[in-house]
Amino acid sequence: MAKTKTKAEQFEFKTEVKQLLDLVIHSLYSHKDIFLRELISNASDAIDRLRIESLTNADLLENKSDYKIKLIRDEKTQTLTLSDNGIGMSHDELSENLGTIAKSGTKAFLEQLQKDKQDVNLIGQFGVGFYSAFMVADSVSVITRKAGSNDAWKWTSTGEGQFTIEPADKVTRGSDIILHLKSDAQDYLKEWTLRDIVKKYSDFVEHPICMDVEKTEYPEGDDKDKKQTTKIVEETLNSQKAIWARPKNEIKDEEYKEFYKHISHDYTDPLQWIHYSAEGIIEFKALLYFPSKAPMDLYYPDSIKGVHLYVKRIFIMDDCKKLIPEYLRFVKGVVDSNDLPLNVSRELLQQDSQLDKIKKNLTNKILSTLKTTLEKDLPEYLKFYKEFGKVLKEGVHVDHENKDKIVELLLYPTSKTVGDELRTFQQVVDNMKEDQKEIYYLSAENIDVAKTSPLLELFRKKDIEVIFMTDPIDEWVINSIFEFKDKKLKAIDKGDIDLDDEATKETLKEKKKEHEGLLTFIQKQLDKEVKEVRFSSRLTDSASCLVADEHGMNKHMEQMFKAMGQAMPAQKKILELNPDHDLIGVLQARFSADPASSELKDYIELVYDQAILAEGSTLKDPIGFIKRVSELMVKAGR
C-alpha cells in the first residue's frame, strides 16, 4: 500500500525526560549493558499485554501467536534492532509513552535530585527503561504497529530534546527498536557480547529471545576432502526457565539476584529473598525479595508494582494489589499459582477467594521470615528496618489479624539504649522490674528532645526504661496497640504516673497542704494558659514540666495535627511543680512576704516558660522572657 508522504511531526520531550536523559547519558556510564535488559523487558511486557488482550479479542493475534523477541545485528549500518511481535503502539501512545515519564516515583526522584544532591545511582531503582537506549545509541528509531490497526509509525530521536513521529510501513504487528550504536558501543554488534548479556540479565524471560548466528558445520568422519560449511541459523539465547519453578538447591545466588534486578529494575542486590512452595488448601510457588534500599516511590502506593502474578507459568499482571497488603508493598517477587484460571481478569480477581488465601499465606511467610531474621541476624534485620520499618508500622494500624506479630517486629530507641541501638517491646518487657505493671513511653519530635525531657527524671532515678516514639506514625501505632503481653502502654506525659510508695504519697500530700495558698495563687495567674497547677514527684532536677491529662493530646500529637493542616483548639495542659526544688522555697518566701509583688509575678511566668521550653515548644512571648531573665541577671549581679 502506497502511503502519501506526510511531513514528520516534531515534539519536545517533557522537562523531566530531558533531565532523565541527561542523567542516563552522563551518569550511568558504568552500567551500559543494562540497556538490553530494559529493552527486552519492554518487549516482553508488550507481548504479555497482547496475550492478555487477545483472551477477549482473538483477532488481535492476526493468526500468529508465535511470540518472539529478536535481536538483529547489522554491521554495515552499525545498528542493533530489537524486534518484538507484541502489542505495538498507536500514534498517541508513542508520543505519550516515549515523550513523558509516567511514574511518579521517578518524577519525585528527579525533583529531589534538583533540590539536593542525591546519589544518581538510585535512579536505577525506578528503571530508566526505554531511555537507557541513549547510553549506547546516538540515535534511536522505533517503528511500531499496534495489533489490530493498519497504521504504522516511526518515532526518531537523538535524545537531545526533541523527537519526531512520521507514518511508516510495517507488515507485522509489534515494535522494532533500532539503535544506531555510538562509536564506543560497537561491541553490542558482537554475537558473544549479546549472548552473555542476555544470559546474565534476561535468561528467565518467558518468551524466546532469538538471534541469527553463524554455525559452522564440520565434515563427519575422516573425510578430509569435504569442506566445513557455515550457515546462518536462528538461535534462542535464553533458557526461558522460570527460576521460581526450579529446585532451590540448583539455583545460584547470582541467579536469584539477577532475577530480582529483572523484575524490580533495581541495580542494587536485594537484601534477602524467600523462595518457597505452598501446599495444602492452596498451592503456589513464590519467590519474594526484600530490597536493600527503600525506593523513592515507597510512599506512592498506587505506582508500586510489587509482586507479579503468574498462573501456570504465564504472566498475568505485575500490579495485583490484592496479592499483598499495602504495608508490605516493598516486597518484590513472583507468585505462580496453578489454582487460578488462566483467563483471570482484574474484575474476577477482585472477588477471588483463592487470592485472599494466597495473600494470607504470603503475609504470614513474610512476617515469620522477618521474625527469624530479627532473632537470628540482628544486623541484617536492622538494615531492613532502617529502610522499611516505617511502612511496616502501618500494618499495626490496618492489619488487626497480624497486629501482634507486627508489633513484635518493631524496634525503638529507649532511655537506656546507647547510640543507634534499638530495642523490641519484648526486650523492654524482659528488662522490667518485677512489680512494673505498665510499659512507659514518651512521644517526642526527635530523640534529642526525648532524651533531655524533664519527664524522664523520675524514671531515671527509679531505673525504669522508657521507650521513645519519634516517628509521626507512632501515635497511630500506639493507639492500635494499647498493650503488649498484658502490660498496658502508658505515656509518661499524660495523666498521673503511679510510681510512688505510700510514704512518698503522704509527703506529697503534706507539701500540698503546706503550699496550698501558693499553688492557688499560681493557678490564678496562669489560669488562661493551664488547666491545673499541682505538685508531683515526677521531677527530681527540674522545677516544672507540662503534662496532658489522661485523655488529652500530648505535644507531639498536637504538632502532627498542625503539620497535617488541621488546626486543633489549644489544649490546656497541667503544670506540674517539683516541691523539692529550691525555686518553690523562693516562690513561697516571696508569696508570704507580698503576694502583690511584681517579682513574684515574673518568677511564676519564668517557671511556666521553663516548662514550655523543656517540652520543645516555643514561647508565646519570647521578648517578655528575655526581659525577665535579663532583669534577674542584673539584680543578681549587683
The rounded distance, in Å, linking the Cα atoms of 475 and 493 is 13
Give the residue from 39, 14, 266 showing the smallest Cα distance to 134: 39
7-26 residues in contact with ligand ADP (CB under 6 A) are: none
Nearest distance from C-beta of residue 416 to ligand ADP, angstroms? 47
Q: Give one DSSP letter per residue of 401-462, joined into a string.
A: TTHHHHHTT--B-BTT--TT--B-HHHHHHTS-TT--EEEEEE-SSHHHHHT-GGGHHHHHT
Question: Given the complex with ligand ADP, which of 97 and 525 has the nearer CB atom?
Answer: 97
Nearest distance, CB of residue 17 and ligand ADP, angstroms: 9
For ligand ADP, which is the closer residue by CB, 177 or 349? 177
Q: How far is the CB of 399 from ligand ADP (least distance, A)?
A: 30
Contact stretch for ligand ADP (CB under 6 A) within 37-45, 191-199, 346-354, 530-538: 37-45
Residue 89 binds ligand ADP, judged by CB under 6 A: yes
At residue 177, the 3 state secondary structure works out as strand
Q: Which is nearer to ligand ADP, 153 or 625 (CB)?
A: 153
- Among 85, 157, 175, 337, the residue binding ligand ADP under the rule CB under 6 A is 175
What is the rounded distance in angstroms from the CA atom of residue 190 to the CA atom of residue 100? Answer: 32
Q: Give the C-alpha separation, 241 to 334, whole Å.
A: 14
**Closest residue by Cα to residue 44 from 73, 102, 98, 83:** 83
The reply on whether position 86 binds ligand ADP by CB under 6 A is yes
- Cβ 379 to ligand ADP shortest distance, Å: 33
User: Given the rule CB under 6 A, which of 41-49, 114-122, 215-223, 399-407 is the region that contacts ligand ADP?
Assistant: 41-49
For the chain, helix, strand, coil in percent to 5 are: 45, 20, 35
Rounded Cα distance between 320 and 309, Å, is 7
Closer to ligand ADP by Cβ: residue 87 or 587: 87
CB of 487 to ligand ADP, least distance (A): 48
Number of residues that bind ligand ADP (CB under 6 A): 16
DSSP letter string over 279-294?
Answer: -SSS-EEEEEEE-SS-
Nearest CB to ligand ADP, comparing residues 42 and 414: 42
Residues 322-381 that bind ligand ADP (CB under 6 A): none
CB of 205 to ligand ADP, least distance (A): 13
Instruction: Rule CB under 6 A: say whether 614 interacts with ligand ADP.
Output: no
Least distance to ligand ADP from the beta carbon of 46, Å?
3
Letters for 502-541 (x = contact with ligand ADP by CB under 6 A, - = none) are ----------------------------------------
Does residue number 84 form part of the binding site for ligand ADP (CB under 6 A)? yes
Give which of 202, 346, 367, 354 is closest to 283, Cα–Cα: 354
- Give the Cα-Cα-Cα angle 290, 291, 294 (nearest 5 degrees): 120
Asked if residue 395 binds ligand ADP (CB under 6 A), the reply is: no
CB atoms within 10 A of CB 595: 12
Scanning 70-78, 84-92, 327-335, 605-613 for contacts with ligand ADP by CB under 6 A, the matching segment is 84-92
Stretch that binds ligand ADP, among 81-89, 396-404, 480-488, 525-533 (CB under 6 A): 81-89
Q: Which of 43, 152, 497, 606 binds ligand ADP (CB under 6 A)?
A: 43
Asked if 42 interacts with ligand ADP (CB under 6 A), we say yes
Least separation in angstroms between CB 292 and ligand ADP: 21
The contact mask relative to ligand ADP for 44-73 (x = CB under 6 A, - = no) is --x---------------------------
Residue 81 found at the interface with ligand ADP (CB under 6 A): no
Alpha carbons 122 and 267: distance in angstroms, whole number: 8
Question: By rule CB under 6 A, what string of x and - marks binding of each residue 128-147 to ligand ADP?
Answer: -xxx----------------
Number of helices (H), then strands (E), in the chain: 20, 21
Distance between CA 105 and CA 184 in Å, rounded?
A: 32
CA-closest candidate to residue 106, choices 128, 86, 89? 128
C-alpha to C-alpha distances, 25 to 20, 178, 264, nearest whole angstrom: 9, 18, 21
Contact 608, 575 (CB under 8 A): yes
Round to whole Å and give the CA distance between 32 and 231. 31
C-beta atoms surrounding 507 within 10 Å: 15
Nearest to 173 by CA among 146, 207, 209: 146
Q: How far is the CB of 130 from ligand ADP (least distance, A)?
A: 4
Identify which of residues 109 and 441 has a Cβ nearer to ligand ADP in the complex. 109
Nearer CB in complex with ligand ADP: 130/267: 130
The answer to whether the beta carbons of residues 259 and 204 sit under 8 Å apart is yes
List the x/- string, 92-131, binding to ligand ADP by CB under 6 A. Answer: -----xx----------------------------x-xxx
Binding site for ligand ADP (CB under 6 A): 38, 42-43, 46, 84, 86-89, 97-98, 127, 129-131, 175
